[in-house]
Chain A
């Protein structure tokens, strides 16, 4: 297998600035086995692709080496180009001389020498490559959406509309997520529940969507197109099928407790539904609060319930589902105030975070929309809003910007000014980020029409002094110290991934970054796919973002799932393990290594000389195998090999790198 073509890419200046591309392609011209070597400005561009295709056809090349950027970027592009020219795509290998040579080395001579050696080693690898053909594997056309917030619901609705069954798993008893807690939404100030409830209602009644609230995913095995997922449905102690939603039990229940839906701003009963428009509109008994669970007495709800659907002895159920694709829409939480020492560490009742202010401002909230101080219920005369509380802060380990706080803080100030015209709203900010459509106009309106005072500067400390909150900061534009006494302080705390996201990542084997947000396959080109094939991402699970972006991303993820389900079988990656049955002795040392249980013993007939001999050999389930290659190391005689990264290829690459 000798006729190899080598293409060295300039990548504009990215590569050619520190790697002498001409010298590289010149040197490769008479390297044994290389039939054609050339360099080109932008190989990934269409003319570049045409050049490759034409050279393959004209010279009947049997292998291609493209020295350009990272394989994660354009391996599939160049392999598709080769396939179009009639060459098996797995005869094409990429040498990464951009991210691993030109960009990371400054000395041109070293970088060029290294690039040439890397290309030569890839040529050796291509010499040992074989024709590989993808396998067809069956597909379960059912999607599992984790997280019932706006992004989870959008995905569920889009996929259900396309006619595929959806399972929506939500850890809270009702769907709606964080959006259900908002009062109005920027920049149009339309009420959050007005635009959300049609969606939740539709999800509630859509025939293709199976709702699993109060549940979480505990185990996921298998591979894309054939996941098997175990969902734990926590007990609600109320039989939701029989319950008619009259909510008598909630009324009569004597025990009151803090409602975590209200973020501590309001109360709820031991048996209750989070908010009036909740879907499913069914109550749930909180085991920790309910008197019966503590003392065994009370049972008022049982007496009151007309259809007798209270079931104290309800158990948690584990449901197993066969799934084709998974969409992670686990949403976000706000950084707890306790972590911000300088702003009172959550000790002061009147220092609240953005979500608590939403609940106070929300019509269906505990104060029916009237902005009051949580401590004494009075209408605050002056409110101080503090932006970037915990975000853009390196010491706290969160240098990133939470993106949505500038807008919702402006909204909070406007809502307050609309209610209390003569109230004082001061916002301490670093930079106002209002990049969306109509966002900047919204903030200008807050400043000009509603006279919200914007002070540029960071707040040093917030403390309580004889009943009033003192905010010490500095106005960097005027350079003076600022001391404001306020009735209420609202912190725009940082957006962090929802609790349990990291554990979910490890269950689904999807990587998360250092802050716990899920890793997308590629920041610009594959934002809705995770690194694991068949697992997609939507909404704040991947990074902080506002509602319009979340919905557009969720629609994107749904589109990905729908395209995946549009074919009735999947094409599997042929770079999987392969057994040489002439050598395999059937010792099955490889079997316990395989994470996907793809290796099974089998009795086969093998011709030896003139006799047919029955032998036990290991066989690979090509659909299950994901090509990690750990089994080939356990195989002593080298019978188990991995196509695409075979022992021969890696050894040749190694040898030529060490010359």
Chain B
């Protein structure tokens, strides 16, 4: 078990930045954002519960170039993007790290794997910091995770008074520690710091754990509850864009005269034209179908396909939805009703 002094964190980040881009939580105009540190490596902060944008931003960025093409007088050639640089995300929360495993199911398993995501995952490392103080929106314990969970992270730092207890989870994490051994010290005291993080409870507790909800939801397609909450929904993409597990995207071409590029950007199933087809046919024309699609996908379809619920209880949609249409509300209501 190793130990990392809080004062050495900036040194560690500076050393890692030699061959990798460093992402860390920074305060920007009162908003905590996971952003790339360029040269000032002690710009990071620790007084946040969760960063507004999740670590999904690093592996599946909102805006990603798929390819560039040149089509001057009809000889078309297409160049795939240049290889990506190494990336290290510091200050990730356990729930976000767990979310990355869900995205792995989508992008890496199945008949086709997504080469962009695969390359970024291989070249990315997650240094997670356990949550000292989950707030009223967190419900990671409902998805048998905890403020101290280690799934999905390479290294987990457990904050103690002036140092972090370091737990290397994956061999990438071990290699990373070995490469910067001089910054870490080995920890002598083995008190139950790690255990009490793992057993820490969130204010909401587990009353949002879905349990066997996906079986019950199968025949809840026409439940009037969907209409009730959909009536409140404004139809903005807020909940889907802050959610670390949402992976829908749109492919669009950007032309500059004869050349251009094809990009992939996040898209939201809550938008009006997400399902609109040529000939103006829309299988989900009103907000009711779209709201149902969002929650059925998270709590039923994903479970059918990958046997895991597509939620990690990070609480972002609970905090950010202006009109209170979020998964915690749905789960609690559905559990009572069914």
Contacts and interface: CB of A to CB of B under 8 A. Distances in A.
Interface string A15-52: 00000000000000010100000000000000000000
Contacts of B74: 30
A467 interface: no
Nearest to A30: B73
Contacts of A32: 258
B256 interface: yes
A609 B285 contact: yes
A552 interface: no
Interface string A619-659: 00000000000000000000000000000000000001001
Interface residues of A, number: 5
B171 to A, nearest CB: 50
Contact of A659 (B73, B257, B285): B257
Nearest to A29: B73
B169 to A, nearest CB: 50
Interface in B67-99: 73-74
A651 to B, nearest CB: 13
A346 B74 CA distance: 79
A503 B74 CA distance: 59
Contacts of B73: 30
Contacts of B285: 609
Nearest 7 interchain pairs by C-beta: A30-B73, A659-B257, A32-B258, A659-B256, A609-B285, A656-B257, A30-B74
Interface of A: 30, 32, 609, 656, 659
Nearest to B258: A32
A656 B73 CA distance: 16
7 contacts: A30-B73, A30-B74, A32-B258, A609-B285, A656-B257, A659-B256, A659-B257
Contacts, number: 7
Contacts of A30: 73-74
A30 B73 CA distance: 6
A7 B254 CA distance: 30
B178 to A, nearest CB: 52
A659 B258 CA distance: 10
A96 to B, nearest CB: 22
Interface residues of B, number: 6
Interface centre among B73, B257, B285 (most CB of A within 10 A): B257
Nearest to A32: B258
A229 B256 CA distance: 52
Interface in B242-265: 256-258
B78 to A, nearest CB: 17
Contacts of B257: 656, 659
Interface of B: 73-74, 256-258, 285
A619 B73 CA distance: 44
A241 B183 CA distance: 114
Contacts of A656: 257
A609 B257 CA distance: 37
Nearest to A582: B280
A609 B284 CA distance: 12
Nearest to A124: B257
B98 to A, nearest CB: 42
A581 to B, nearest CB: 14
B190 to A, nearest CB: 65
A656 B285 CA distance: 37
A13 B206 CA distance: 86
A659 B257 CA distance: 7
A656 B74 CA distance: 19
B252 to A, nearest CB: 16
B127 to A, nearest CB: 44
A656 B258 CA distance: 11
A32 B73 CA distance: 7
B253 to A, nearest CB: 14
A609 B282 CA distance: 9
A32 B257 CA distance: 9
Nearest to B74: A30
A656 B255 CA distance: 11
A132 B256 CA distance: 29
B287 to A, nearest CB: 16
Nearest to A609: B285
Contacts of A659: 256-257
A587 B177 CA distance: 63
Contacts of B258: 32
A643 to B, nearest CB: 23
B278 to A, nearest CB: 15
A655 to B, nearest CB: 8
B46 to A, nearest CB: 45
B323 to A, nearest CB: 23
A349 to B, nearest CB: 76
Nearest to B256: A659
A32 B74 CA distance: 9
A120 B258 CA distance: 12
Nearest to A656: B257
Nearest to B285: A609
A190 B256 CA distance: 74
A499 B258 CA distance: 59
A312 B125 CA distance: 102
Interface centre among A30, A32, A656, A659 (most CB of B within 10 A): A32
Contacts of B256: 659
A385 B257 CA distance: 70
Nearest to A120: B257
A30 B256 CA distance: 17
A91 B256 CA distance: 24
Nearest to B73: A30
A214 to B, nearest CB: 65
B337 to A, nearest CB: 31
A513 B256 CA distance: 44
A606 to B, nearest CB: 12
B18 to A, nearest CB: 40
Contacts of A609: 285
A30 B285 CA distance: 44
A32 to B, nearest CB: 7
Nearest to B257: A659
A513 B74 CA distance: 52
Nearest to B282: A609
A32 B260 CA distance: 14
A609 B73 CA distance: 43
B285 to A, nearest CB: 7
B74 to A, nearest CB: 8
A659 B285 CA distance: 39
A34 to B, nearest CB: 11
B308 to A, nearest CB: 37
A32 B75 CA distance: 12
B193 to A, nearest CB: 57
A259 B256 CA distance: 74
A284 to B, nearest CB: 71
A450 to B, nearest CB: 76
A577 B256 CA distance: 30
A30 B257 CA distance: 13
B215 to A, nearest CB: 34
A609 B280 CA distance: 9
A30 B71 CA distance: 12
A362 B257 CA distance: 75
A93 B76 CA distance: 30
A314 B137 CA distance: 86
B109 to A, nearest CB: 38
B295 to A, nearest CB: 25
A582 B281 CA distance: 15
A101 B24 CA distance: 54
A6 to B, nearest CB: 15
A609 B285 CA distance: 10
A32 B70 CA distance: 13
A611 to B, nearest CB: 11
